[in-house]
């Protein structure tokens, strides 16, 4: 569960994005920032290392977001990193995403796939997950080659693992166990 500080930062960027009518765009960009941080210890360590000068961190932020993200997203990431909250950015982004989805009476499903998914597949996933959890679902796809094939869907605390990797592990345990 997010602590008060993380909820506070998420609430602040949420209100700014809603006020500028860029809520969905900033939500998508912060989600991608969070997944980039989750996928790279080097990036996370660089943005959270208080020994590094802010100029160096800002250069990394510019490389990551410059010209591709809304100015509010870039300014917020810079602000959070400047305040020493770089290590919390993924949690702040996840809290922001959950708050934004709740505003639209939806849940967010993070779906990990070894390959990109087409729109029709994403729509089928959203309908299937919505039927399972009883709420409309927004699907956010993360490419994760380590799952080998299939999908892993996470909605809140619920994880649905249909990955080839997990099936191979289960098969190995059955054969050796």
Q: Which pLDDT tens digit goes with each residue over 36-91?
A: 888 889 999 999 998 999 999 999 999 989 889 999 999 999 999 999 999 999 99
For the stretch 89-125, pLDDT in tens is: 999 998 998 898 888 888 888 899 999 999 999 999 9
**Look-up of token digits 């999908």:** 151
DSSP state of 152: E
> Is the pLDDT assigned to residue 1 strictly greater than 50?
no
Pairing of the two strands 106-113 and 136-143: parallel
Q: In what order do the strands lie in the sheet with 150-155?
A: 136-143, 106-113, 150-155, 158-163
This prediction's pTM:
0.75
- Please give the structure tokens belonging to residue 55: 């100029």
User: Which of 145, 57, 38 is closest to 97 using CA atoms?
Assistant: 38
Highest mean pLDDT among 10-14, 95-99, 156-160: 10-14
């Amino acid at each position: 569960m997010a602590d008060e500080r993380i909820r506070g930062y998420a609430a602040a960027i949420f209100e700014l994005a809603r006020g500028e009518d860029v809520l969905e765009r900033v939500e998508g960009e912060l989600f991608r920032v969070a997944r980039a941080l989750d996928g790279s210890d080097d990036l996370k360590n660089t943005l959270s290392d208080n020994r590094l000068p802010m100029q160096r961190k800002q250069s990394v932020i510019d490389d990551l977001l410059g010209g591709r993200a809304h100015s509010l997203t870039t300014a917020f990431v810079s602000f959070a990193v400047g305040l020493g909250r770089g290590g919390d950015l993924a949690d702040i982004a996840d809290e922001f995403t959950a708050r934004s989805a709740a505003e639209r009476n939806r849940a967010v499903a993070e779906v990990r796939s070894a390959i990109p998914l087409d729109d029709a597949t994403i729509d089928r996933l959203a309908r299937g997950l919505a039927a399972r959890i009883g709420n409309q679902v927004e699907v956010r796809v993360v490419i994760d080659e380590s799952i080998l094939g299939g999908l892993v869907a996470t909605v809140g605390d619920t994880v649905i693992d249909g990955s080839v990797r997990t099936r191979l592990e289960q098969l190995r345990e059955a054969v050796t166990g």
